[in-house]
């Protein structure tokens, strides 16, 4: 069974509004999960910093920095149902047909699990007319599902399944953690902290690195 999910990337609170978007881009393009970037693509760049900057430039061009920052598709196949190349081609063609040139996007196939799955992150702002992406009830059946079904059948795979029962009420992290047993919001924060520690030789550098990742550090002192 294959499953596809779409969740929005919300504005971050108490730090850079686009912090969650930056973390999502960095997560999906992680070299350790993509064979050093072998299974990474997009219409901007295969460098996470350049992808993020392109999305920020689009937001700046139209003065739309706040609200939903982007969207995250996950197309996941059952174990041994699809290899990396097939998953990559499906993700690539889906992006071309559904997003085209209208949105900055990046996609990546992860093979660090027993099943192959493709992550797609795209900007919330249309880079042609500046409009925000809107998902309207019925869009899944009318636009998204037909494309994914066609791409799967074209390569001899069964149509994708969408878990409508859990369409609402769960965050992306909860859905993905439940389905794949790995990422949660805490995992992303923990990963950022680990990366900041690796790149720091002092506590001051650690704080600077965390700020670079989009975090704001607060210290509370209490009297005993």
CATH value at residue 119: 3.30.930.30
Strands (E), the chain: 3-9, 40-42, 70-76, 105-110, 117-123
| Residue 214 domain boundaries | 184-224
Q: Say yes or no: 82 and 142 in one domain.
A: yes
Q: Say yes or no: 37 and 132 in one domain.
A: yes
Q: Say yes or no: 149 and 59 in one domain.
A: yes
Domain assignment present for residue 68? The answer is yes
Q: Say yes or no: 188 and 163 in one domain.
A: no
Domain assignment present for residue 87? The answer is yes
Domain assignment present for residue 177? The answer is no
* Global confidence as pTM: 0.72
Q: Say yes or no: 115 and 222 in one domain.
A: no
Tell me the Ramachandran region of residue 214: left when phi exceeds 0, alpha when psi lies from -120 to 50, beta otherwise: left
pLDDT, one tens digit per residue, over 18-66 is 999 999 999 999 999 999 999 999 999 999 999 999 999 999 999 999 9
Q: Say yes or no: 116 and 212 in one domain.
A: no
Domain assignment present for residue 113? The answer is yes
Distances (CA, A) of 196 to 30, 121, 161, 199: 15, 23, 38, 5
Pairing outcome for strands 105-110 and 40-42: antiparallel
Q: Say yes or no: 131 and 188 in one domain.
A: no
Q: Say yes or no: 212 and 115 in one domain.
A: no
State whether the Cα torsion 160-175-22-198 is positive or negative.
Answer: negative
Tens digit of pLDDT per residue, the chain (224 long)?
456 678 889 998 888 999 999 999 999 999 999 999 999 999 999 999 999 999 999 999 999 999 999 999 888 887 788 899 999 999 999 999 999 999 999 999 998 877 888 999 999 999 999 999 988 878 888 888 889 889 989 998 887 665 554 443 344 444 444 454 444 555 556 666 766 676 667 777 777 767 665 566 554 443 44
Domain assignment present for residue 10? The answer is yes
Q: Say yes or no: 221 and 124 in one domain.
A: no
Domain assignment present for residue 56? The answer is yes
Domain assignment present for residue 176? The answer is no
Q: Say yes or no: 192 and 141 in one domain.
A: no
Q: Say yes or no: 68 and 134 in one domain.
A: yes
């Amino acid at each position: 069974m294959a499953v596809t999910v779409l969740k929005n990337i919300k504005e971050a609170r108490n730090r850079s509004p686009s912090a969650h978007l930056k973390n999502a881009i960095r997560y999906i393009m992680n070299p350790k999960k993509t064979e050093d970037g072998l299974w990474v693509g997009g219409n901007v760049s295969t460098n996470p910093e350049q992808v993020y900057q392109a999305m920020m430039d689009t937001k700046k061009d139209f003065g739309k920095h706040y609200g939903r920052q982007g969207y995250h598709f996950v197309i996941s196949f059952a174990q041994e149902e699809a290899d990396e190349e097939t998953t990559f081609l499906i993700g690539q063609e889906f992006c071309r047909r559904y997003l085209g040139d209208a949105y900055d996007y990046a996609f990546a196939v992860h093979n660090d699990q027993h099943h192959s799955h493709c992550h797609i992150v795209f900007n919330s702002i249309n880079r042609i007319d500046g409009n925000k992406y809107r998902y309207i009830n019925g869009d899944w059946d009318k636009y998204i599902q037909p494309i994914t079904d066609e791409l799967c059948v074209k390569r001899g795979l069964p149509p994708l399944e969408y878990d409508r029962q859990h369409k609402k009420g769960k965050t992306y992290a909860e859905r993905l953690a439940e389905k794949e047993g790995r990422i949660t919001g805490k995992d992303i924060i923990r990963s950022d902290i680990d990366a900041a520690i690796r790149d720091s030789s002092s506590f001051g550098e650690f704080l600077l690195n965390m700020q670079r990742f989009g975090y704001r550090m607060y210290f509370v002192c209490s009297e005993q």
